[in-house]
Structure 1
Amino acid sequence: ANWRERLSRLDCPALVMVNASPSDLPDDPPLPHGGELLSKPLSRHALTEAIRRTRQATLPALPEVAADTATPPEDASRPWHILCVDDTESNRLLLKELILGAGSGVEVSLAASGEEALALARHSTFDLVLMDIRMQGMDGVETTRELRRLGGHWRRLPIIAVTAHVQDNQRRDLLDNGLDGMLEKPIDTAQLSQLMQHHLGIGVDSDVAEPTASPRAIREEDAELAEVDLALGTRLAGGREALAHQLLDQLIASLDETEANIRDATARGDDEALLNTIHALNGACRYCGVPRLALLVETLETRLRSRGGEAVEPLLPDLYAAMEGLRARGTYHASSTTKATANATSSDKDT
């Protein structure tokens, strides 16, 4: 009777460890707030799984929720403040542009690493965090744990994983590690809008909240994929043509460093460093209209994750060729722009 009273006052699930065999435990344990009865002695694995099951059962689902159920900022005069954490510049830029489509009532802060996100969190108030998972240094899971340890509103603030290559077991692990949901790259603006509507009561501008196309939609059997497809890039950028050009320019500007990092990791046989670089390149390609490079990098990352570095070596010459083709195209565009500007200036002088 004493323990029943204690359990009723807990107001949370309980794991009750009992000196009894499993067959002696009651089928209907007195656990008013959920949990489990566990038979002692208890192995570490059994305890871990019991904690996982109990926490999973109490994690909030993400159903369709009316906009007026979102909790407004404590200061109604301030806008919603969203933190985007990603170590790839183009990903941060796209997220910011898409979120700002929600209107003037939103502010966006950007962090290029987990360490930078923690520094911002200690001095700023946020209402939602979009968290890249695979980052150099402190990854997204570790960053989420550290944010939760800050206490206060950080214990309940929505933190959403933004990542690619998420399998069912990885999805469960992310939820178990304190994340509240997932957006899969490339970002589907309709899903982003729905998520913001659920947590904040606001959505992305309907003019851009259309499902984005994916580079993987291009048929692998096509004989020759285009190096640049600006129409595809515009769809990937949420219908923003100017942003598509900007993301393409950033990708091209990053290729020299990316190739150097790939060659260095390959020479050292460092599969982890190679995966980090390929993953970052894959993320950047997902928002650019570069079908040939996007398909190659997607194939490389999938093969690297499943079969290791030796399996990707035959594809590296094609990767380098695709990167060189993009670099040459970028140089050509820059040269053409310079010539056009020079001709216009000469024409003005003649006039």
Structure 2
Amino acid sequence: MPKPISSSQLVEVIREYTGYVCQGGPASDRFRLPDPRDSRLSIRPSARKKQQDCVSIEESIQLAAGKADLAEELFSMLLEQMRFDHDRVEELWQDQDLDGLLDCVHKLHGATRYCGVPELRTAANRLETALKREAPDLGHHKEQLVSAMERLQIWSDQTDWQQLFREQSPQAETT
């Protein structure tokens, strides 16, 4: 999550990832976990957590200052680079080149910040963070990134995404 984090954002993330609903009252009461011996109050992963959208054309245009043609160009550049990055991520992982992998994922994550690709952006961010922290679950995060890249590639192959951008352009509305 980007910093600073508000208490309401923290409460929402806790609910989203654990299913635990923080109650009102003083902060010490709101964040107190239930007694683990009380099985009625056990924390369980939330079933409401859904996979993020693969692509948001609206977000892409918003990130491009409302310019659909620029958003389309940035999205096209991301797709082109992503084909190379997919193979590169796998190669760097096989070679156990974590510094090279961090560099590759950092660049990919930066590119996702300019396009409406929430799932890929989140996966890249999580792997980048895990690499920086030398987290024990790197393999899981790498697989999540590769899966997000593959879903985006499939979506782009099966969708006339250029037309979706053009339908959102101001010229499309006046013609």
Which category of TM-score, normalised to the shorter sequence, fits these structures? 0.5 to 0.7
CA displacement, residues 215-258 of structure 1 (integer Å, 9 cap, x when unaligned): xxxx8634121000111111211221221121112111222210
CA displacement, residues 75-116 of structure 1 (integer Å, 9 cap, x when unaligned): xxxxxxxxxxxxxxxxxxxxxxxxxxxxxxxxxxxxxxxxxx
**Percent identity between the aligned chains?**
27
CA displacement, residues 292-351 of structure 1 (integer Å, 9 cap, x when unaligned): 11111111111111125x5321122222221111111211235997xxxxxxxxxxxxxx
Choose the corresponding residue for 2:73, options 228, 237, 246: 246
Alignment of 1:164-183 (within 5 A): none
2:45 is aligned with 1:232 = no
Equivalence for 1:330: 156
Equivalence for 2:91: 264
Q: What is the CA–CA distance in structure 2 between the aligned matches of 1:245 and 1:233, rounded to whole Å? A: 8
Alignment of 1:50-199 (within 5 A): none
Higher helix share: 2
Higher strand share: 1
Equivalence for 2:101: 274
Equivalence for 1:40: none
Which structure exhibits the higher relative contact order, with contacts defined as CA atoms closer than 8 Å and separated by 6 or more residues?
2
Letter in 2 for 1:320: V
CA displacement, residues 187-214 of structure 1 (integer Å, 9 cap, x when unaligned): xxxxxxxxxxxxxxxxxxxxxxxxxxxx
Letter in 1 for 2:114: Y
Q: What is the CA–CA distance in structure 2 between the aligned matches of 1:254 and 1:223, rounded to whole Å? A: 27
Q: What is the CA–CA distance in structure 2 between the aligned matches of 1:259 and 1:298, rounded to whole Å? A: 15
Equivalence for 1:313: 139
Unaligned runs of 5+ in 2: 3-11, 17-48, 164-175
SS in 1 for 2:52: coil
Letter in 1 for 2:91: D
Q: What is the CA–CA distance in structure 1 between the aligned matches of 2:161 and 2:105, rounded to whole Å? A: 29
Indicate if the aligned counterparts of 2:130 and 2:141 stay in contact, CA closer than 8 A: no
2:127 is aligned with 1:300 = yes
Q: What is the CA–CA distance in structure 2 between the aligned matches of 1:279 and 1:327, rounded to whole Å? A: 19
SS in 2 for 1:305: helix
Letter in 2 for 1:327: Q
- Which one has the largest radius of gyration? 1
Q: What is the CA–CA distance in structure 1 between the aligned matches of 2:51 and 2:90, rounded to whole Å? A: 25
Indicate if the aligned counterparts of 1:236 and 1:289 stay in contact, CA closer than 8 A: yes
Letter in 1 for 2:142: L
Indicate if the aligned counterparts of 1:236 and 1:288 stay in contact, CA closer than 8 A: yes
Indicate if the aligned counterparts of 1:304 and 1:311 stay in contact, CA closer than 8 A: no
Unaligned runs of 5+ in 1: 1-164, 166-218, 338-351
TM-score, normalised via structure 1 length: 0.32
TM-score, normalised via structure 2 length: 0.61
Indicate if the aligned counterparts of 2:63 and 2:115 stay in contact, CA closer than 8 A: yes
Misfit runs of 4+, over 6 Å = none
Indicate if the aligned counterparts of 1:249 and 1:330 stay in contact, CA closer than 8 A: no
Q: What is the CA–CA distance in structure 1 between the aligned matches of 2:118 and 2:76, rounded to whole Å? A: 15
CA displacement, residues 237-290 of structure 1 (integer Å, 9 cap, x when unaligned): 122122112111211122221011111111111111000100010011000000
Query: How many residue pairs were aligned?
Result: 119
SS in 1 for 2:159: helix
CA displacement, residues 35-59 of structure 1 (integer Å, 9 cap, x when unaligned): xxxxxxxxxxxxxxxxxxxxxxxxx
